[in-house]
């Protein structure tokens, strides 16, 4: 029988993977942002460096919270998922943050069990970058990209305790699959108030990698990568504010 410390170690390793993917996204994003946003000091003795790309000054710094609902494809059919993001925005256009989502409980797709006796538990998250076109327009378009990791497992439907294997392993650690994902999307946004935006759009979750966690002699199969990727329709709200750092010269 697998010890509890082994399950704790598994969960810790999984969380480390999520943090690693988020950190990589942050580093790449900030490298691009500060590469574009950095502005050289101009003095009488040192002329300005010429660059191929313009170097706009960062005039606005924003912080936004994004509660979000997704209706996504998992294991052959669509199901509800909830989650959200926390974003830092530069000049109202470039956003960097973290996102996390989870499928609603008791999702029993027929691809997993025809009699709906098994449920698919799925959660995923990571770093998020987003570019917004014409953010000051009432209606505009944004392009989010989320990169990270997730985990899915198959368990008996119903509450914890109905599955005899729950007595042998920590919750959600059996019959699982850890995976890496990339999820690009496009959203249509509307400025309702200066600090409130609503959005709706679509994205596609691309899944790769994967490490199975079958423990304690369970007869349940792990989910496959093909069952975890697919199209998602999403809607949500952005709540936050863009703080003016520098006034543009007239």
Compute the mean pLDDT over every residue in the chain, rounded to the nearest whole number.
79
DSSP 165: G
Query: Which pLDDT score, from 0 to 100, does residue 46 have?
Result: 55
Please give the structure tokens belonging to residue 30: 């900030």
What are the pLDDT digits (tens) for 19-37?
555 556 555 555 555 554 4
Query: Which pLDDT score, from 0 to 100, does residue 31 have?
Result: 55
Do the Cβ atoms of 203 and 184 come closer than 8 Å? yes
Residue 45 lies in a domain: no
How many domains would you assign to the chain? 1
Distance CA 160, CA 170 (A): 11
Question: For strand 94-103 and strand 118-133, is the pairing parallel, antiparallel, or unpaired?
Answer: antiparallel
Residue 46 lies in a domain: no
Residue 195 lies in a domain: yes
pLDDT at 17 over 70: no
Query: Which pLDDT score, from 0 to 100, does residue 185 have?
Result: 97
pLDDT at 165 over 80: no
Buried-exposed string 142-174: b where 16+ CB fall within 10 A, e elsewhere:
bebbbbbbbbbbbbbbeeeeebebbeebeebbb
pTM score over 0.85:
no
Q: How far is CA 18 from CA 4, 37, 47, 68, 239, in A?
A: 22, 28, 44, 20, 25
Q: What is the CATH number of the domain that holds 179?
A: 2.40.160.20
Query: Which pLDDT score, from 0 to 100, does residue 192 have?
Result: 97
Q: Which range marks the domain in which residue 189 is found?
A: 4-39+58-244
What are the pLDDT digits (tens) for 104-142?
988 999 888 888 888 899 999 999 999 999 999 999 999
Query: Which pLDDT score, from 0 to 100, does residue 222 have?
Result: 78
Distance CA 158, CA 48 (A): 66
- Closest to 150 (Cα-Cα) out of 18, 4, 1: 18
Distance CA 200, CA 70 (A): 10
Residue 50 lies in a domain: no
Give the containing element (helix H, strand E) for 19: helix 4-37
Residue 53 lies in a domain: no
Do the Cβ atoms of 125 and 150 come closer than 8 Å? yes
């Amino acid at each position: 029988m697998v010890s509890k410390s082994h399950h704790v170690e598994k969960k810790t390793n999984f969380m480390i993977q999520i943090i690693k993917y988020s950190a990589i996204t942050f580093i790449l994003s900030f490298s691009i942002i500060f590469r574009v946003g950095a502005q050289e000091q101009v003095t009488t003795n040192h002329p300005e460096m010429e660059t191929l790309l313009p170097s706009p000054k960062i005039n606005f710094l924003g912080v936004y919270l994004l509660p979000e609902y997704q209706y996504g494809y998992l294991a052959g059919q669509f199901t509800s998922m909830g989650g959200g993001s926390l974003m830092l925005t530069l000049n109202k256009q470039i956003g960097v943050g973290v996102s996390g989502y989870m499928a609603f409980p008791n999702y029993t797709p027929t691809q997993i069990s025809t009699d709906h006796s098994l449920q698919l538990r799925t959660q995923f998250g990571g770093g998020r970058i987003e570019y917004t076109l014409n953010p000051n327009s009432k209606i505009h378009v944004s392009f989010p990209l989320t990169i990270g990791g997730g985990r899915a497992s198959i368990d008996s439907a119903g509450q914890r305790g109905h599955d005899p294997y729950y007595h042998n392993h920590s919750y959600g650690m059996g019959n699982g699959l850890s995976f890496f994902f990339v999820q690009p999307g496009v959203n249509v946004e509307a400025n309702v108030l200066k600090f409130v935006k609503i959005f709706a759009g679509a994205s596609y979750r691309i899944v790769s990698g994967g490490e199975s966690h079958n423990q304690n002699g369970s007869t349940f199969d792990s989910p496959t990568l093909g069952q975890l990727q697919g199209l998602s329709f999403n809607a949500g709200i952005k709540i936050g504010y863009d703080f003016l750092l520098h006034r543009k010269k007239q």
